[in-house]
Structure 1
Amino acid sequence: MGKSVALAYVLWFFLGYLGIHRMYCGRVGSGVTMLALTVLGGITSVIIIGHVILLIVGIWWLLDLFLTANMAMTARR
């Protein structure tokens, strides 16, 4: 039985760049990676590499729009 798809999308929309929706769906490793990249990108946004890192997280966040429902349905409680 999976997690709530609606809650997963609410988390994706409001906290997705932090990877919280992935952690909720049981994908803790990739969620922590997303969180770490966001923090690293924010810290290094003064230099150009930070913008590149944040762009990568943004693309990943958009791709998760299509992946979140499946992640939530297949997550174990």
Structure 2
Amino acid sequence: MPLNTSELTLIEQRVTNDGPSTPVAYLLWFFLGLLSAHRFYLGRPASAILQILSYFVLIGFFWLLLDLLLIPDMVRQKRDVMRQRLTTEMEGGQQLAFA
């Protein structure tokens, strides 16, 4: 059964409130980029660790600069996954738990 407008609004509100923020990701990149904090924040611990380890061969520094362009897409992907999970929960008749 498709979701009604109020359920979709609730999902979007939840994604907006609890999902990652692009400005926060950029601040983490700027201040804690060498620790790959932005990748940990966006739920990518494996690539964060790999990025930290790659600093020893200088590839990591180029990767860090490339992340400037990738952060908006990583935020969008994380929000899409969250939106899909919440939609599946609501379609299954579950109540959304607020964190």
**TM over 0.5, yes or no?**
yes
List per-residue Cα deviations over 1:11-63 (Å, max 9, x = no partner).
0111112211011001111011122334xx2xxxxxxxxxxx1x211100010
Question: Is it true that 1:35 corresponds to 2:38 in the alignment?
Answer: no
In 1, Cα distance between the equivalents of 2:69 and 2:31?
A: 16
Correspondent of 1:14 among 27, 31, 55: 31
Cross-structure match for 1:68: 71
**Cα RMSD (Å):** 1.7
Q: State the AA in 2 paired with 1:30.
A: S
Gaps of 5+ in 2: 1-14, 83-99
Larger radius of gyration: 2
Question: Under a length normalisation based on structure 1, what TM-score does the superposition of the two structures give?
Answer: 0.69
Higher helix share: 1
Aligned length: 63
Q: State the AA in 1 paired with 2:78.
A: A
Higher relative contact order (CA 8 A, sep 6+): 1
Name the % identity: 43
Secondary structure of the structure 2 residue equivalent to 1:26: coil
Runs of 4+ in 1 over 2 A off after TM superposition: 35-38
Question: Under a length normalisation based on structure 2, what TM-score does the superposition of the two structures give?
Answer: 0.56
Gaps of 5+ in 1: 42-52
Secondary structure of the structure 2 residue equivalent to 1:17: helix
